[in-house]
Amino acid sequence: MSFPKLTELAMNKIAENIGGAEFCNKIFKMAGSISSVPSELLLNLLSHYLSVTEINLTGIIMTDAIVPMLKSHNLKSLSTGYFFKLREYNGYFDNRLDYEKYAPNGNGGYLAVSDHKKKIRHVIDIEQFLEDALNEESRKTLTHLDLNMLPSLTSLALRQRILPDFEFSNLCLSFPNLLKLDLTNTCLETLHGISALANLETLRVGCLKIKKVGGIRQLFDLKKLQNLSFEITSAECDCCLSGNVHSLMLKSDRRLRSLETVDFSNRRVEDATINRFLKIYGNLKSISVCRTLVGMTAHPTIEVYHTRTIQGCVKSLKYYTEMENPVMVDSVMDMLNDLLSRSTTRVTNRDFRDCLKAVNSAVELFSWLKRVVRHGFYCYADMLRAKDVSIFEVDDRIKMIQLLLTNSIQQTQLLKKFPASIADAMEPWKVLSNRNLLFRTPLLDLSRIAFLAFQLVEISNSGYARPHLSVLDMIKDVLDVNALVFESIDFKKVKENLKNLKDTGDEFNPHVVPIAKRLLEREGYQITH
């Protein structure tokens, strides 16, 4: 007998009991696994029962079925997901005027069509997509669109999308009200046309291909520009590192008079460059030098965001989380994890408490981004190894455990479809397998934790390290497996898998054998029947 998924039951219940008015002006985030595709049920419910004004599809693979759902709402904000399965809107690579321009740099020889495809990736008819996805009311009210174009926009993100110069000029003329513009990794060779954005306040220009000062001349016409970022996507990418807008600005005799914040993160800049920039722009309020060669960690007149110390990483992590910048949150957390894994003798208990709060906020906000979540879990484990759990505030510990369990639920569902994903399913349990965390955190529901661990035992029997078994081993003496919460667990299957582990062993984790044996021999356990 099959049962409906809990998500289906929940969505049906919402549809039956909540009127559209109560959902107006709420952000509906469909942020889940990057590989997930919205189900037909979910799309139908969103189309017919809820009245949504803000939709965030970041990290979601969009299909053609999502288009009518979008059109059924009067939107003020839309962030699109991955386009490659929108079959109705796929274009042709060789139709682009810049088709040959972005061929990979080879060592000579013939370049096949596939080589160009690797560079351009996907060509999508954005104009037709928008025409089909936005109703008349949405076209009038939409003020934020990620990766699309409408004249009323105030925020536009084109990050990591190849953007020919002629298209950029037209784009600027179309969006006179833009306040924020992200051009990172768009391969632009000139900013000609940007002067049309007279109200622009925030601009990101990392990894552009501008070679001459003339290419940035119109940048200085932006009288209201306050925030400028040269931050790039990856400190390891040679292509990204070639961006040089900051050096062209230093060569120019013109200045951005309203500039308040500058971001050099992930670049190979040194103190000399920063000092020269600060000398020219002496009225800055803050500067970010995360993951650079810059040794500066403080300045007498401006705020400095850096990743030289754990304290600096925490400060920067809070900054970028508040900005909702996933690329820099990922980058800073990577550095934080590296520093936490080393000596922490100079880090105070207060610093650790601030660190846990910051990591919790980042993991919660970017729970859909696997890299951020993974870095967050590593940071959790390092903090718990370095300090006794009692130094962390109870609310923050509970929040961390909730985030770990939520991730475990998602990974367990994925594991049912893809058994090879067992490694990802184990990540939250590596943190949870801490006796002090489990027994010295008040108001913690150990039965819920045990239920999720038993689920993993039930569905997985592959040879891999099993920290969830360690958790069960720790809490087995305080559990009543006959309780209602365990009613849906197939203990016959659990017993079978545990017995198999006991008999065959686990090459990755030799401690699994005695743990499996202790669980099977636990007196009164239902699984021994």
Please list the residues that pair with 204 across neighbouring strands. 182, 229
- Total domain count for the chain? 3
**Domain shared by 85 and 202, yes or no:** no
Pair (6, 130) in one structural domain: yes
d(CA 35, CA 399): 26
CB atoms within 10 A of CB 509: 17
What pTM does this model have? Answer: 0.74
Q: How far apart are CA 165 and CA 187, in angstroms?
A: 9
- Domain contains 374: no
Residues 409 and 300 in one domain: no
Q: Distance (Å, rounded) from C-alpha 515 to C-alpha 476?
A: 11
Spatial CB neighbours of 208, under 8 Å, sequence gap ≥ 6 = 183, 186, 187, 188, 189, 191, 243, 245
Structure tokens at 509: 């984790």
What range does the domain containing 74 cover? 1-93+114-142
> What is the rounded CA–CA span in Å between residue 235 and residue 291?
8
Sheet holding 54-56, edge to edge: 27-29, 54-56, 77-79, 144-146, 155-157, 180-182, 202-204, 227-229, 261-263, 286-288, 303-305
Beta bridge partners of 228: 203, 262
380 belongs to a structural domain:
no
17: in domain: yes
186 and 130 within one domain? no
Asked if residue 195 and residue 126 are part of one domain, the reply reads no
- Residue that the structure tokens 């300090």 belong to: 387
pLDDT along the chain (529 residues), means of 10: 52 48 38 47 65 77 85 85 77 56 50 49 70 88 66 75 80 86 89 95 91 94 96 63 79 94 93 94 95 94 97 98 93 96 91 98 93 96 96 97 95 83 89 96 93 89 74 90 88 87 68 81 52
CA distance 438 to 424: 21
CATH code, domain carrying 195: 3.80.10.10
* Dist CA 144 CA 65 (whole Å): 22
Both 133 and 190 in a single domain?
no
- Residue 309 class from Cβ within 10 Å (0-12 exposed, 13-18 middle, 19+ buried)? middle
What does the pLDDT read at residue 37? 54
Q: What is the CA radius of gyration of the chain?
A: 26
Q: Which pLDDT belongs to residue 384?
A: 97
Sign of CA dihedral 275, 281, 284, 290: negative
Q: Tell me, what's the pLDDT at 523?
A: 46
Among residues 38, 134, 113, 43, the alpha carbon closest in space to that of 81 is found at 38
pLDDT at 1: 44
**Per-residue pLDDT at 10:** 58
Residue 117: the pLDDT is: 47
- The residue whose two tokens read 């800055």 is 284
Q: Give SS3 for 125.
A: coil
Q: 348 in a domain, yes or no?
A: no
Whether residues 170 and 48 share a domain: the answer is no
For residues 78 and 175, state if they share a domain.
no
Q: Which pLDDT belongs to residue 28?
A: 39
Residues 35 and 78 in one domain: yes
